[in-house]
Amino acid sequence: MILTCEEQQLAFSIVRNSIDHGFDHDAARLYDPALFSDKFKLLSQVFVSLKYKGVSVGCQGNFGDSLPFYKALSNCSFNAGFNDPRFPAINKNILSQLVISIHLLGNTNSTSAIFDIEEFCSKLDSDDCVLLRSHDKKAFFLSSVQSEYTTKMLFMLALKNKANIDNKTPWYFLNATTVKTLSTYSQSYQDTQ
């Protein structure tokens, strides 16, 4: 899904309102579906990431097309700000330097075992997000995280670590699902309305 400038502003407004609502009510903001166009009612895979001074302070997403876009945005925004187990809840003191990114994902590719990690890495495109699973453990990285690592192998090892999968566990015991990032929009919290 590609958003027009007007749709981007609406999307950022939903994010900001959900974060503001979270400060006041400790919950994501609920919306009347009648307020939105059909595009915002499409089932969507979306992630919202929050950065303060260039450092991640929250990232949560909707993987699996289970919610309409407007609702996924609201829920993911609240969860990124207040329920990401890797970070403390955000506070109002950082809002002036908070940057919001909305990541719209495409269709999920098939899941398969990683029989050859080097081959898997060689086929991994820069716009590929990866979900790694092993029994009851799993972790997800957005495609933008790839740029934080010098190689795709290091990216995959970091994902394995994020999932708390022992480094001795052979790759062929793990399943990977890839999904393309269709578009990413970023804006400072202060610039949203």
Bridge-based pairing of strands 98-113 and 137-141 is unpaired
| 137: β partners | 134
Rounded to two decimals, the pTM is: 0.92
Query: What is the secondary structure of 8-43 as a DSSP string?
Result: HHHHHHHHHHHHHHHHHHSSPPP--GGGS-HHHHSE
Give the H or E element holding residue 48: strand 43-52
C-alpha angle 180-183-184 in degrees, rounded to nearest 5: 115
Instruction: Catalogue all structural domains in the chain, each as residue range(s) with its CATH number.
Output: 5-105+182-191 (3.30.700.20), 108-180 (3.30.1490.150)
Please, what are the averages of pLDDT over each run of 10 residues along the chain (193 residues)? 93 96 96 96 95 95 87 97 96 96 90 92 94 92 94 96 93 94 94 80
Give per-residue pLDDT as tens, 119-175: 999 999 999 999 999 988 999 999 999 999 999 999 999 999 999 999 899 999 999
Residues 179 and 172: their CA atoms lie apart, in Å, by: 20
What backbone phi and psi angles, to 5 degrees, belong to 31?
A: -125, 150
- What is the residue type of 15? V
Instruction: Give the pLDDT score at 109.
Output: 83
Instruction: Give the pLDDT score at 65.
Output: 67
Instruction: Give the pLDDT score at 37.
Output: 96
